[in-house]
Each structure stands twice: as structure tokens, then as C-alpha cells.
């Protein structure tokens, strides 16, 4: 029986729909006397706190206490910054609009909110930096810029050159379950937490720092998350710290759960970017050089902006060999939420720029964009601009050609031309774009994982690992991996919630490497257990150790029917006083990277894929419909095909949302205007392409990765760049081709104006209206 590779439903799928699958806040009822927390929020984007008097809150009914800087215990530090300590819990200088300056704890959430309104704070408003342009003008950056270079870039030496700007919007993670933590003092005086966090070990670290207690005093558990998408990689910590601080002060359990509006105005998003680029190319469209400055709007604190900027720079080539490349990355310090991880982690921003450039090259030379793209693909033996050989470069072209064929690209192109010739105000476009995404944390030390596997005397198994479940199906994959490794039915195995007291010092579940890392650690633990059990089984079966194999809940003599129940072997091992639990450990081999030189092999391997998108635009409204999408994704040998399919569908749609719908608007005061689902347009069922053909590459075994699989969590998001490129083509069709400049996201409004710009003058609707009004 094979467990790995089986198309199983998500292990909690049933619970997700029945409500049996519990999330952090569902545990509320288990904590009688729990206190609720509400922040006192500053009404300025940048201000000095002149005075703060929390005492009036105590007179509000139901209020139990307040939390201010005075409540940081002896030895504790009131700061939750994950890298740089630049995130004071109780700031004396407000650095973004609505930043909490104090908290109120009460018997009910409403009482806490009413108490917070009574807290008296006086501020001296200061000028705020609210855009990347403001930051450039005032020199407001978190760090000196990063630089990465190959060769000397002199665009003027190329036969052709172009230059341009691209503004790229941010994105709200909009996980269904908002940030949440519950903290209490356990029976032995330690601090325990349930936290919706992608990184329980870091949540433990931050709570330990804030309370000034060693880490062994803190235990963090994450049952599962109702989505995270990077938004809980570092940004779950603050809420956990407030809950822990409240519990330590009051000795009562404390719950911090952000309602949607607070979650949106207080937590970081995908980084908005500004790219200023120039590119040199020859008459065939071959890239000769690219010079690009990337500016990220990092917000008020550093958070993960540095590795995000590195990843943007690592992906500024996408699938293309650029002989000379010169990249500079700036992290603008603005008075906004602290932008953070979001599926793709800077990769999408880097990639969308090079794809924009390639399309401009094609339009400049009047060549088909898919021809120009293909000509520039990496060839076997070539290396990236940071010196990593592109192993399996052949897969890029193989996937591309297969998908062009399978999607009937050429014939549809012709049909689209006919459609466009026949329709003045509706136009269609089609585009194909590739993805090459580097797999591994670029911070090399994060590429390690542990597991703890326990076998009980009845042969049933508990698996603990350091990864967290956020809906991506990690636990389904781990279940399959453990079942396969021990030759047990799925029902014999139970995956335990992630706890820092089972596996210590874990990495965030991020960088799409959750199953690569934790899966390999589980395999290692199971291998050790099998090694313990093999001699026991061999003696029970009276065979050579080499002939022992584990399958179907039994232990067999290879290629025979002679077998014994797994549980029997376990009991025999117990009687022989052998350990029936093992830890597993894995660290990714061969990776290294030197940020000082910008060179190395940061990624263990690349995940590849391509997508074809066809869209139709309405020239009157700028409205877009995605008509059809075809995807071919390289997931190696899929660990769990239904889970992977869900990741590809969801990732693609989330990418399409970022590129076409989701627009964050901060007002002139630096207040987030789009702070709810009514003002922030998300993709949903209605945006699902009516024809959505997804395939995974066959015979794609990835050597050296758990069961030959490849990471799948993030790469498909960037396949949605095909939608943006198809939209640009459709816009061009309103005129006579040519370069289409349009910022991300291409909302209906932006599309409308881009169409206006592209249309021949006599067909411009806006111009006609103005003229009509003047008559």
C-alpha cells in the first residue's frame, strides 16, 4: 500500500466544514474567567506621545486592568521586533496610524473597548512619510541599500534599449481567521499560549523576551491556523506578547483576538514596490543587460523586509538569462503598517518587473511576447546573476512547449484576433508566462527541522513535528509520509498539534518548505525506529534483517506472505526494553549564500511552472473577465495530489487578486481607508476562470527531496502574472499594439484609462464626453 502520492482529501477537510476543526479562538470556553483585550490606538501616523493616563479606564464597568510600559516585568523588554528590536509595545513615538500605545483588559471585549476610550493620551503630531516618493525625498530608509551585480551594465551599448517605472501595490493577507492568542499561567507557574502563529518558536522567543523569563518557562501551541499566507510568520508575536503580559500581570487567562478591522489596520501586508528599470536588448529580443532599482515600502519597522528584498532581487531574472544585471534594493521607512511576508515573499514583485520588461521588448520589436520570452530562457549550464547554476533549466522549456501545445495557444491567438477585429468595445488577450521560484529560506540557518515520533505499545503512533498547519495541507502530507515510512495505515497515525515543548527551536513554516523540511525530519525519525524494530522483527519472522519490510500495518519477509502484525513487533521490542520513540532531524545540504558579495547557492532547487491566461475586457467599464487558464506545474512527484491541486488553484487566484483587484488605499493622514471586505475587493468564486485546466508534470522526481516531491505553496501565485500580461495585450488591442503601461493592480479604473490611452483618438470615450460637455 502506498500512502505517499495518494489523492487524499485534506486531513481536516471534514472538520473545516462541520466546525469540528478547532482554531485558537474556539478554545475560549475552556478558560473560565478569561480577560479580553482592546488597544488604545493613536489617531496619528507619526506623533510624539506627550502624556498617557490609563487610570480613567479603570472606572469603566468590567475593566480589570490596563497594560502600559510600567507593566513590563523586571528583566523583560517591551519590544517585539523579530530581528531588529524596533517594535516597542508601548511606544513613546507613534510610527503608524492607529498604533497601539496601551491596552485595556476587561471581562468582555466591549468593556475593554469602552475602557480604552477613556484612556487619556496627548500627542504632538509630526510630519509623516507616507509614500515611497516621500521616503526617497527625505532619505527615509531602514538600512543602506542592497546590491547585486553581474557584469557591467551599460544599456547604451545595446542595439535597443528601454526604460520605465512600475508601481506595484501591496496586498492584505486576509486570512479568514484573524490574529489570535490566548495566554495563561499553567499549573507550575510557566506561561502557556495557544497562538495562531506560523512560527511558534519565535512566538516563544518574543514572549520570553517581553516577560524576561527563560524560554523553557514558555510553551506555545498552534492547533492550526485559518490561513496565514505569511501574515503570521512574525506578526502573530505582538498579540501573543500582550496576552502573555496580561496573564502574567493578572494571573488570569487573557485573550487577544483582532477583529477584522483592527487586523487590517494594525498588521503588515505584502510590500508595495516601485521599480525603476532600464534594459538593453538586441534585434531578436535577447536581453543584454538589466539595471533596476527596487524600492519597497517597508512601513514603520524592519520586520522581514531585508530577506523579502533579497528574494525580490533573487527573482528579478525569473526564467531568463540576463548576461549583465545590476540590482539595487531600497527599504523605505514609512509611517504605515510594517509590511511583512506574503506568499512569494518579494519574489512576485521581482518577477512582475522582468515580465513587464519582456513584454515591452516584444512590443518594441513587434514580436510575439511568447517568442521573446522563450528566446531568453536559461539554458542548461547557465547560472543566475547570483551565481547559482540553473539545474534542470530544460524543464522551463519543456513545460512551456507542452503548455503552448496543450492550451492550443496558436489557434486561440488567431481566434482572438478575429474577435478583436469584430468588436470595437470588447477585446480579448492571451498570454503565457513562466515561473522559476527558489526553494529554501534565504537565511540559511532556517533550513533545518525536527520531529519526535512516539510509538505506543498497541502500535499506534503520534507524530510531532515543527511545522504548522495553515490550511496548506502540511499535516495531510506528514500523515502520508509517516504512514509510508512505517508501513502503517493512516488510521494508525495521529499528527499532534505543533508545540514548542515537543520540538524545540523550529523555523517558521514558510518559504514553501514546510513539507521538505519537516517531512524529511519525520522520515529520519521513522528510519531510526525501523532500525530499532528490524532485528526484533527478523527474529520473530526468522529471516535476515535485509529481508524485513513494513507494509499494511504488518512486518513482512520481503516478497513473501510471511508476516507479523506491527503491534506484535512493538510489544516484543518493548519486552526487550528498546526505545519506541525517536527524534528526527534534517538540514538542507549544499546551500550557502554571502550577502556581502551577493553570490552563492541560496536555493536547494527551483520550482517551475507556466500558465496561459485568456481574458476579455470591457472598454466602457475596464472590467475584466478571465475566460480560461491552463497551468502546468512542476511539483516533482506529488506527495498529495488533491492538496497540491488546491495549492495551485488557490495560489493562482490569490495572485490574480493581487494583480487585478486588491487595492490598498491609505488616506492623506496615513489611515488605511480599505479596512474591511466592503472596501477591499478580494477574488472569490466569481473570479474563478470558467475553464481552469491544471496539470502537474509527470515523471518529475526531484532527487534529494522527500519522496521526490517539490514545494508547491508559493510558486503558483506568480503564474497569475499571465493574467496581467493577457490584460496588457487586450488593452493594446484597443489601439494598434504597442507598449501598455499600467501599474499593479490593473483595476477596472486603471484599465479604463489605459484603454483610453491606447484607443485611436476618435474613439476615446472620456475625450468624447469632455467635448460633448464643452459643446
Active site residues: 714
Question: From CA 490, how far away is CA 482, in angstroms rounded?
Answer: 8
Interacting partner of 4 out of ligand MTE, ligand MOS, ligand HPA, none (Cβ under 5 to 8 A depending on kind): none
| Residue 608 engages ligand MOS in binding (rule: CB under 6 A) | no
Which listed option, ligand MOS, ligand HPA, ligand MTE, none, makes contact with residue 24 (CB within 5 to 8 Å by class)?
none
Put the strands of the sheet holding 47-53 in their side by side order.
93-94, 47-53, 120-125
For residue 438, the SS3 value is strand
Please report where in the chains the cell 481536516 appears, as a residue. 12
> Could you say which of 142, 291, 333, 343 contacts ligand MOS (CB under 6 A)?
343
Strands of 218-222's sheet in order across: 63-67, 100-106, 35-41, 254-257, 180-185, 191-195, 218-222, 498-499
Closest CA to 269 of 358, 406, 169: 169
**Residue 594, Cβ density class (10 Å: 0-12 exposed, 13-18 middle, ≥19 buried):** exposed
Q: How far apart are CA 473 and CA 483, in angstroms?
A: 15
Binding mask 644-683 for ligand MOS (x = CB under 6 A): ----------------------------------------
* SS3 track for 740-766: CCCCECCCHHHHHHHHHHHCCHHHCHH
- Which does residue 442 bind out of ligand MTE, ligand MOS, ligand HPA, none, counting CB within 5 to 8 angstroms by kind? ligand HPA
Residue 475 binds which entry of ligand MOS, ligand MTE, ligand HPA, none, CB below 5-8 Å type-dependent: none
- Rounded to an integer, what distance in angstroms lies between the CA atom of residue 679 and that of residue 28? 30
Q: C-beta of 486: minimal distance to ligand MOS in Å?
A: 29
User: What span, in angstroms and rounded, lies between the C-alpha atoms of 658 and 266?
Assistant: 20
The answer to the question of residue 512 lying near ligand MTE (CB under 6 A) is yes
Q: How far apart are CA 285 and CA 264, in angstroms?
A: 43
CB of 205 to ligand MOS, least distance (A): 18
CB of 293 to ligand MOS, least distance (A): 23
What residue 443 binds from ligand MOS, ligand MTE, ligand HPA, none (CB within 5 to 8 A, per partner kind)? ligand HPA
Residues in the chain: 775
Task: Please report whether residue 184 would count as binding ligand HPA according to CB under 6 A.
Answer: no
Strand order in the sheet with 426-439: 426-439, 605-618, 624-633, 691-696
Chain mean position to CA 300: 20
Chosen residue from 12, 158, 234, 472 binding ligand MTE by CB under 6 A: 472
Residue from 501, 518, 502 nearest 585 by CA = 518
Which of the stretches 81-89, 339-347, 377-385, 720-728 binds ligand MOS when contact is defined by CB under 6 A? 339-347
List the interface residues with ligand HPA, window 499-518 (CB under 6 A): 508, 510-511
Which of 587, 589, 588, 596 shows the shortest CA–CA distance to 386? 596
Which is nearest to 227 in space by CA: 77, 354, 342, 351?
342
The residues facing 220 across adjacent strands are 193
Q: In the bound complex, what is the minimum distance in angstroms from residue 443's beta carbon to ligand HPA?
A: 5
DSSP annotation of 413 reads H
Which positions from 431 to 470 touch ligand HPA by CB under 6 A, shown as an x/- string?
Answer: ----------xxx--x------------------------
Query: C-beta of 666: minimal distance to ligand HPA in Å?
Result: 25
We find the least distance from the C-beta atom of residue 510 to ligand MOS, in angstroms, to be 3
Instruction: Name the β-bridge partners of 163.
Output: 278
Order of strands across the sheet that contains 554-557: 548-551, 554-557, 563-565
Does position 345 bind ligand HPA by CB under 6 A? yes
C-alpha span between 23 and 8 (Å, rounded): 22
Q: Which stretch binds ligand MOS (CB under 6 A): 103-111, 317-325, 336-344, 362-370?
A: 336-344
Under rule CB under 6 A, which residues in 161-220 are in contact with ligand MOS? 198
> What is the pairing mode between strands 493-495 and 461-465?
parallel
Binding flag, residue 315, ligand HPA (CB under 6 A): no
Stretch 648-677 residues interacting with ligand MTE (CB under 6 A): 650
Whether residue 271 contacts residue 296, with contact meaning beta carbons closer than 8 Å, is answered with yes
717 touches ligand HPA (CB under 6 A): no
Q: Which is nearer to ligand MOS, 537 or 718 (CB)?
A: 718
What is the DSSP secondary-structure string of 173-217?
A: ---SSPPEEEEEE-TTS-EEEEE--S-HHHHHHHHHHHHT--GGG
Nearest distance, CB of residue 329 and ligand MOS, angstroms: 17
Q: From the list ligand MTE, ligand MOS, ligand HPA, none, pick the one residue 647 interacts with, judged by a Cβ distance below 5 to 8 Å according to partner type.
A: ligand MTE
CB of 304 to ligand HPA, least distance (A): 6
How many residues interact with ligand MOS (rule CB under 6 A)? Answer: 10
Coil, helix or strand at residue 402: helix
Instruction: Kindly state the cell numbers that stand for 735.
Output: 489601439
Residue facing ligand HPA at closest CB distance: 511
Q: Which residue has the cell 544599456?
A: 155
Cα–Cα distances in angstroms (integers) from residue 451 to residues 194, 523, 580, in the given order: 20, 9, 14
Look at residue 525 and give the partner it binds from ligand MTE, ligand MOS, ligand HPA, none, a contact being a CB closer than 5 to 8 Å depending on partner kind.
none
d(CA 394, CA 316) in angstroms, rounded, equals 20
Based on the shown chain and the rule CB under 6 A, indicate whether residue 714 belongs to the binding site for ligand MTE. Answer: yes
| Minimum distance of ligand MOS from residue 234's CB (angstroms) | 10
As given in the structure block, the three cell numbers for residue 424 are: 470595437
Burial of 614 (0-12, 13-18, 19+ CB in 10 A): buried
- Measured from the CB atom, the residue of 610 and 647 that comes closer to ligand MOS is 647
Q: Based on CB atoms, which residue is closest to ligand MTE, 274 or 700?
A: 700
Cβ proximity of 240 and 309 under 8 Å: no
Cell of 19: 466546525
Q: Which of 345, 400, 605, 666 binds ligand MOS (CB under 6 A)?
A: 345
CA 636, 639, 641, 644 torsion-angle sign: negative
User: Does 341 interact with ligand MOS (rule: CB under 6 A)?
Assistant: yes
Residue at shortest CB range from ligand MTE:
514
Position among 100, 200, 230, 689 found at the interface with ligand MTE (CB under 6 A): 230
* Whole-number Å distance between alpha carbons of 741 and 734: 14
Interior CA angle at 509 toward 506 and 515, to 5°? 100
Binding segment toward ligand MOS, per CB under 6 A, in 80-88, 310-318, 337-345, 603-611: 337-345
Q: Does 511 bind ligand MTE (CB under 6 A)?
A: yes
Least gap, CB of 515 to ligand MTE (angstroms): 5
Residue 562 pairs in a beta bridge with: none
Reduced to 3 states, what is the DSSP secondary structure of residue 699? coil
303 lines the binding site for ligand MOS (CB under 6 A): no
Q: Which of 317/714 has CB closer to ligand MOS?
A: 714
Q: Which does 513 bind (CB under 5 to 8 A by kind): ligand MTE, ligand MOS, ligand HPA, none?
A: ligand MTE
Instruction: Verify binding: residue 603, ligand MOS, rule CB under 6 A.
Output: no
Between 228 and 430, CB nearer to ligand MTE? 228
Which residue, 468, 321, 305, 310, is CA-closest to 383?
321
* Residue 510 touches ligand MTE, criterion: CB under 6 A: yes
Mapping DSSP to helix (H, G, I), strand (E, B) and coil, where does residue 251 land? coil
Contact region with ligand MTE (CB under 6 A), list: 133-141, 263-271, 507-515, 606-614: 507-515
Interface pick for ligand MOS out of 221, 233, 317, 663 (rule CB under 6 A): 233
Residue 481 binds to ligand MTE (criterion: CB under 6 A): no
The distance of closest approach from Cβ of residue 655 to ligand HPA in the complex, given in angstroms and rounded to an integer, is 16
Interface residue list for ligand MTE (CB under 6 A)? 227-230, 343, 470-472, 474, 509-515, 647, 650, 713-714
Interface residue list for ligand HPA (CB under 6 A)? 233, 304, 307, 311, 341, 345, 441-443, 446, 508, 510-511
Amino acid at each position: 500500500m502506498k500512502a505517499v502520492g495518494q489523492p487524499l482529501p485534506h486531513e481536516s477537510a471534514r472538520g473545516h466544514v462541520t466546525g469540528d476543526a478547532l482554531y485558537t479562538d474556539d478554545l475560549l470556553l475552556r478558560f473560565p474567567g478569561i480577560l479580553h483585550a482592546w488597544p488604545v490606538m493613536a489617531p496619528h501616523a507619526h506623533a510624539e506621545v506627550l502624556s498617557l493616563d490609563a487610570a480613567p479606564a479603570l472606572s469603566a464597568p468590567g475593566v480589570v486592568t490596563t497594560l502600559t510600559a510600567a507593566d513590563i516585568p523586571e528583566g523583560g523588554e517591551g519590544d517585539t521586533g523579530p530581528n531588529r528590536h524596533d517594535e516597542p509595545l508601548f511606544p513613546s513615538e507613534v510610527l503608524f496610524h492607529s498604533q497601539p500605545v496601551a491596552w485595556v483588559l476587561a471581562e468582555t471585549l466591549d468593556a475593554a473597548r469602552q475602557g480604552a476610550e477613556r484612556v487619556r493620551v496627548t500627542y504632538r503630531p509630526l510630519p509623516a512619510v507616507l509614500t515611497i516618493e516621500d521616503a526617497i525625498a527625505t532619505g527615509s530608509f531602514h538600512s543602506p541599500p542592497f546590491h547585486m551585480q553581474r557584469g557591467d551594465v551599460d544599456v547604451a551599448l545595446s542595439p535597443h534599449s528601454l526604460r520605465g517605472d512600475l508601481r506595484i501595490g501591496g496586498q492584505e493577507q486576509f486570512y479568514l481567521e484573524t490574529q489570535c492568542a490566548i495566554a495563561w499561567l499553567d499549573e507550575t507557574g510557566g506561561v502557556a499560549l495557544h497562538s495562531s502563529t506560523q512560527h511558534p518558536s519565535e512566538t516563544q522567543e518574543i514572549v520570553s523576551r517581553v516577560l524576561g523569563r527563560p524560554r523553557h518557562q514558555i510553551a506555545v501551541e498552534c492547533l492550526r491556523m485559518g490561513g496565514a499566507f505569511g501574515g503570521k510568520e512574525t506578526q502573530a508575536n505582538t498579540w501573543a506578547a500582550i496576552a502573555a503580559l496580561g496573564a502574567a500581570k493578572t494571573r488570569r487567562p487573557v485573550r487577544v483576538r483582532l477583529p477584522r478591522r483592527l487586523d487590517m489596520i494594525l498588521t503588515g501586508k505584502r510590500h508595495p514596490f516601485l521599480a525603476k528599470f532600464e534594459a538593453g536588448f538586441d534585434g531578436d529580443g535577447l536581453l543584454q543587460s538589466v539595471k533596476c532599482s527596487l524600492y519597497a515600502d517597508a512601513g514603520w519597522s524592519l520586520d522581514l523586509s531585508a530577506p523579502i528584498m533579497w528574494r525580490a532581487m533573487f527573482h528579478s531574472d525569473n526564467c531568463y538569462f540576463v548576461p549583465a544585471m545590476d540590482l539595487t534594493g531600497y527599504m523605505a521607512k514609512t509611517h504605515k503598517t510594517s509590511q511583512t511576508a506574503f506568499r512569494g515573499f518579494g519574489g512576485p514583485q521581482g518577477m512582475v518587473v522582468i515580465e513587464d520588461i519582456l513584454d515591452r521588448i516584444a512590443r518594441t520589436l513587434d514580436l510575439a511576447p511568447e517568442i521573446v520570452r522563450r528566446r531568453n530562457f536559461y539554458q542548461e549550464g547557465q547560472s543566475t546573476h547570483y551565481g547559482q547554476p540553473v539545474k534542470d533549466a530544460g524543464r522551463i522549456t519543456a513545460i512551456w512547449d507542452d503548455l503552448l501545445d496543450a492550451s492550443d495557444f496558436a489557434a486561440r491567438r488567431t481566434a482572438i484576433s478575429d474577435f478583436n477585429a469584430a468588436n470595437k468595445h470588447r477585446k480579448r488577450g492571451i498570454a503565457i508566462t513562466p515561473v522559476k521560484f527558489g526553494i529554501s529560506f534565504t537565511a540559511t540557518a532556517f533550513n533545518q527541522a525536527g520531529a519526535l515520533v512516539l510509538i505506543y505499545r498497541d502500535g499506534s503512533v503520534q507524530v510531532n513535528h515543527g511545522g504548522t498547519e495553515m490550511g496548506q495541507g502540511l499535516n495531510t502530507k506528514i500523515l502520508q509520509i509517516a504512514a509510508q515510512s512505517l508501513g502503517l495505515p493512516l488510521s494508525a497515525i495521529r499528527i499532534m498539534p505543533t508545540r514548542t515543548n515537543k520540538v524545540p527551536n523550529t523555523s517558521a513554516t514558510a518559504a514553501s518548505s514546510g513539507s521538505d523540511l519537516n517531512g524529511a525530519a519525520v522520515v529520519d525519525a521513522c528510519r531510526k525506529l525501523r532500525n530499532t524494530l528490524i532485528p526484533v522483527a527478523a527474529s520473530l519472522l526468522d529471516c535476515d534483517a535485509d529481508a524485513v519490510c513494513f507494509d499494511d500495518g504488518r512486518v513482512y519477509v520481503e516478497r513473501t506472505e510471511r508476516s507479523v502484525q506491527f503491534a506484535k513487533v512493538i510489544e516484543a521490542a518493548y519486552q526487550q526494553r528498546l526505545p519506541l520513540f525517536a527524534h528526527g532531524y534534517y538540514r538542507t545540504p549544499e546551500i550557502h549564500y554571502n550577502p556581502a558579495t551577493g553570490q552563492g547557492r541560496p536555493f536547494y532547487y527551483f520550482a517551475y511552472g507556466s500558465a496561459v491566461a485568456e481574458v476579455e475586457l470591457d472598454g466602457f467599464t475596464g472590467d475584466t473577465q478571465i475566460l480560461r487558464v491552463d497551468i502546468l506545474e512542476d511539483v516533482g512527484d506529488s506527495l498529495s495530489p488533491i492538496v497540491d491541486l488546491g495549492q495551485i488553484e488557490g495560489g493562482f487566484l490569490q495572485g490574480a487578486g493581487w494583480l487585478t483587484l486588491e487595492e490598498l488605499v491609505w488616506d492623506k493622514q496615513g489611515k488605511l481607508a480599505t479596512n474591511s471586505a466592503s472596501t477591499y475587493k478580494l477574488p472569490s468564486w466569481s473570479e474563478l476562470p470558467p475553464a481552469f485546466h491544471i496539470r502537474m508534470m509527470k515523471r518529475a522526481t526531484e532527487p534529494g527531496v522527500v519522496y521526490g516531491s517539490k514545494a508547491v505553496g508559493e510558486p503558483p501565485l506568480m503564474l497569475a502574472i499571465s493574467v496581467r500580461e493577457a490584460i496588457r495585450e487586450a488593452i493594446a488591442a484597443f489601439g494598434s499594439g504597442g507598449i501598455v503601461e499600467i501599474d499593479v493592480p490593473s483595476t477596472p479604473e486603471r484599465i479604463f484609462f489605459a484603454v483610453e490611452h491606447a484607443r485611436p483618438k476618435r474613439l476615446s470615450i472620456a475625450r468624447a464626453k469632455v467635448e460633448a460637455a464643452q459643446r
